[in-house]
Amino acid sequence: VPQNKLTPVTPALWSSRFVFIMAAVGSAVGLGNIWKFPYITGENGGGAFVLVYLVCIAIIGLPLMMSEVMLGRRGAKSPIGSMAVVAKAEGRSPHWVGVGIMATLAAFLILSFYSVIAGWTMPYIVSAVSGQFSGISAQSTGALFEDLLASPWQLLMWHSLFMGLTILVSAGGVRHGLENAVTKLMPALFVLLLILVGYAATTGHFGEAVSFLFKPNFSALTAESILVALGHAFFTLSLASGAMMAYGAYLPKNVSIARTAVVVGVMDTCVALLAGLAIFPIVFAHGLAAGEGPGLIFVTLPVAFGQMPGGSFFATLFFVLLLFAAWTSSISMLESLVSYLNEKGISRVTAAIGGGLAAWLVGITTLLSLNVWSDFTPLDMFARFEGKTLFDLYDYLTANIMMPVVALLIALFVGWKVNPEHSKAELGAWHKVWFPVIRYLSPIALLIVFYFNLK
Ligand code: PFF
Ligand code: NA
């Protein structure tokens, strides 16, 4: 077991494949699955989008996850440090370190707005506990959500609290918090989603939801929505942001990277699809808009909770588990930066507080873009960014630009710059399949998506 005394959250934990899988699943499963996947699926027309997303996971996401875990394990450092170490060992340009820098920057930016959204779960826990959802109408849940977004001080309070929780674990204060959260709470979240899907099946609109999600209507598909599906494949698997590289650095040598990546990818995908199956029947049963946007789960799920027996209990449990899922993801986002600063001689506590506070500050601009700055759309002069608030821009910049670029560079690096004998030593028998995919298929697919989006 590799020991790294500078990283208190991790070394004791990554003692087995199981623990690594749990940490990686904790990073992967989060708001991306339950909040983002349903709403972007709704905005992008359903079935065809879901299909493209699944293809992106299979031919780009999974091979990339294997690549990142491999780079992390070989470099055994922060994402920035590992890129430097491996590039040097392979006799390549030191500029490859830029990939690690861009990934770390993407993780930082994502953390800044992720914390704001994760903060939303907390007032929903309060409402759920106090029975506020019982018998609530779709109109009232819509109003409740709007009230929350309209209140910068409330948002600031929850955002601050969530970032504080993230810093706490990252700084190493809650040594086994991560393991407990992922080994007990993730399975609970999974079971709860199954219960919700079961409830959704009783609404009479389940079939409609299934065909919305799985019957591809390719006329709804645009070049832009393909890019959104691609970006989401990275976001949901915590790729192109250093998280999987950082966690890979603590993975024992005898663990199969490829099998582990497949398990993580499958679990993440199942959670997203279950979330879709739980939410869309409710959307259709209540005549809500599938393209409602970021508020989708916050407007629809409380209606369902309000009608089911034991609803207040299930609602509380759901938002608590969602909070934990977001928490284990945000910790991994901060890890890219903290592990780097730590290598530079800054203590983990200082690095976690400094990095977390900086992300918290940037997060305030996201929070304000939901209310007082909602008309501030600074990049209107570019058609691509027209009407986008700061929050929209951070989301677009990370998922649709930075992550695909980082992904392409990593694919090119491991596919063309790393000696195949070396990657074979890391990946074993799986190398046969992985290598041609990451060398040809993934970069070509990425370039095609870029081409049609820049055209
Ligand atoms: N994978 C997380 C989710 O689906 O919510 C989000 C995420 C975590 C993105 C870690 C990037 C990252 F580095
Ligand atoms: Na995810």
Give the tens place of pLDDT for each residue, 260-289.
Answer: 999 999 999 999 999 999 999 999 998 899
The model's pLDDT over 62-78, given as tens digits with 9 standing for 90+, comes to 999 999 999 999 999 99
pLDDT at 1 over 60: no
CATH assignment at residue 33: 1.20.1740
pLDDT at 5 over 80: no
- Domain assignment present for residue 9? The answer is no
Q: Whose CA is nearest to atom 11 of ligand 1?
A: 238
**Distance from the alpha carbon of residue 271 to the mean position of ligand 2, in angstroms:** 8
192 in Cβ contact with 318 (< 8 Å): yes
380: which DSSP letter? T
- Domain assignment present for residue 189? The answer is yes
Mean predicted confidence (pLDDT) in 16-43: 92
How large is the ipTM? 0.99
Nearest to 73 by CA among 240, 242, 250: 250
Tell me, using a 6 A CB cutoff, whether residue 236 lines ligand 1. yes
Tell me, using a 6 A CB cutoff, whether residue 241 lines ligand 1. yes
Q: Which of 271, 329, 398 to mutate to test the pocket of ligand 1 (most atoms within 8 A of CB)?
A: 329
The model's pLDDT over 321-355, given as tens digits with 9 standing for 90+, comes to 999 999 999 999 999 999 999 999 999 999 999 99
Tell me, using a 6 A CB cutoff, whether residue 330 lines ligand 1. no
| Residue-level pLDDT at 122 | 98
- Rg (C-alpha) for the chain, rounded Å, is 21
- Domain assignment present for residue 217? The answer is yes
| Residue-level pLDDT at 245 | 96
Q: Residue 83 corresponds to which tokens in the numbers above? A: 């890129």
SS3 171: coil
The model's pLDDT over 75-99, given as tens digits with 9 standing for 90+, comes to 999 999 999 999 999 999 999 999 9
Q: Whose CA is nearest to atom 9 of ligand 1?
A: 238
CA dihedral 107, 110, 111, 113 (to 10 degrees): 170
| Residue-level pLDDT at 176 | 59
pLDDT at 20 over 90: no
Sign of CA dihedral 432, 435, 438, 439: negative
The model's pLDDT over 91-127, given as tens digits with 9 standing for 90+, comes to 999 999 999 999 999 999 999 999 999 999 999 999 9
**Distance from the alpha carbon of residue 236 to the mean position of ligand 2, in angstroms:** 3
410 in Cβ contact with 423 (< 8 Å): no
- Domain assignment present for residue 11? The answer is no
- Domain assignment present for residue 173? The answer is yes
Tell me, using a 6 A CB cutoff, whether residue 110 lines ligand 1. yes
- Share in percent of the chain as helix, strand, coil (round to 5): 75, 0, 25
State the average pLDDT for the chain: 93
390 in Cβ contact with 112 (< 8 Å): no
Tell me, using a 6 A CB cutoff, whether residue 370 lines ligand 1. no
Residue pointed to by tokens 């909770």: 305
Tell me, using a 6 A CB cutoff, whether residue 32 lines ligand 1. yes
**Distance from the alpha carbon of residue 421 to the mean position of ligand 2, in angstroms:** 32
Q: Quick one: what percent of the chain has pLDDT higher than 70?
A: 95
Band (pLDDT 50/70/90 cuts) for residue 14 is: low
Angle at 432 between CA 403 and CA 413, to 5 degrees: 35
Tell me, using a 6 A CB cutoff, whether residue 25 lines ligand 1. no
pLDDT at 187 over 90: no
Tell me, using a 6 A CB cutoff, whether residue 337 lines ligand 1. no
Tell me, using a 6 A CB cutoff, whether residue 99 lines ligand 1. no
User: Which residues sit with Cβ closer than 5 angstroms to ligand 2, an ion?
Assistant: 28, 32-33, 236, 268
238: which DSSP letter? T
Q: State which ligand 1 atom lies nearest to the alpha carbon of 236.
A: 4
- Domain assignment present for residue 5? The answer is no
371: which DSSP letter? T
Range list of H helices, 286-383: 296-307, 311-343, 348-369
Tell me, using a 6 A CB cutoff, whether residue 238 lines ligand 1. yes
Q: Residue 228 corresponds to which tokens in the numbers above? A: 């959104």
Count of structural domains, the chain: 1
64 in Cβ contact with 240 (< 8 Å): yes
pLDDT at 52 over 60: yes
Tell me, using a 6 A CB cutoff, whether residue 27 lines ligand 1. yes
Tell me, using a 6 A CB cutoff, whether residue 442 lines ligand 1. no
pLDDT at 6 over 60: no
Gap between the Cα atoms of 178 and 74, Å rounded: 24
SS3 36: helix
Sign of CA dihedral 164, 170, 175, 176: positive
Total length of the chain: 455
Q: State which ligand 1 atom lies nearest to the alpha carbon of 243.
A: 13
Gap between the Cα atoms of 82 and 74, Å rounded: 7
Q: Which of 236, 244, 269, 274 to mutate to test the pocket of ligand 1 (most atoms within 8 A of CB)?
A: 236
Gap between the Cα atoms of 446 and 403, Å rounded: 11
Nearest to 47 by CA among 284, 279, 273: 273
Nearest to 243 by CA among 182, 321, 168, 331: 331
- Domain assignment present for residue 2? The answer is no
Q: Which domain holds residue 180?
A: 17-454
Nearest to 321 by CA among 19, 35, 17, 48: 35
pLDDT at 221 over 50: yes
- Domain assignment present for residue 3? The answer is no
Nearest to 323 by CA among 198, 171, 164: 164
Judged by its nearest atom, the ligand closest to the C-alpha of residue 329 is: 1
Mean predicted confidence (pLDDT) in 131-147: 95
Q: Whose CA is nearest to atom 7 of ligand 1?
A: 238
